[in-house]
Amino acid sequence: MLSSNAKRQKLSKNRSRLATASKCVSKQVGAVIVKDGRILSTGYNGTPAGYTNCCEHWDGEYTKDHHEWSKTYEIHAEMNAIIWAARKGISIEGATIYVTLEPCSECSKNVIASGIKRIVYNKAYEHTHSEVISQFIKDNGVVIEQLTI
């Protein structure tokens, strides 16, 4: 049986592998929702299925205009994982979400509203006011922690 730390490291590798499916020219982010040792749902950042991918729109190059375009057209990894679970009728109440990048304020609100009770992330997100968002998450009864491997 794997120790708690070994399980966390294994999930970290899974979400990192999942992030490589992202077609974003800026960041490749993956999310895995887990409960009772079972993977319930996964997601990565990208446009809705069938829409032009970020890498196609920007010809594989990051530009200063990307962030604004992304806010309009791309779905974050956390939301894709939550949406997939909802579409398939999978309850994520009380689950943990493992994410390669710290959730933004919008994703944080949706994670709270979805019933997820714990957020574990790898890297800080430069567009998030970490202290404010982390406190907001904690004030809503959700644990948030940065994974150090």
- Residues serving a catalytic function are 78
The pair of structure tokens assigned to 95 is 């689950």
| Closest by Cα among 64, 65, 21, 67 to 44 | 21
SS3 72: helix
How distant, in Å, are the alpha carbons of 9, 60, 102, 142 from that of 66? 31, 11, 19, 31
Q: What order of strands is seen across the sheet that includes strand 38-44?
A: 38-44, 30-35, 96-101, 118-123, 143-146
Q: Are 83 and 43 in contact (CB under 8 A)?
A: yes
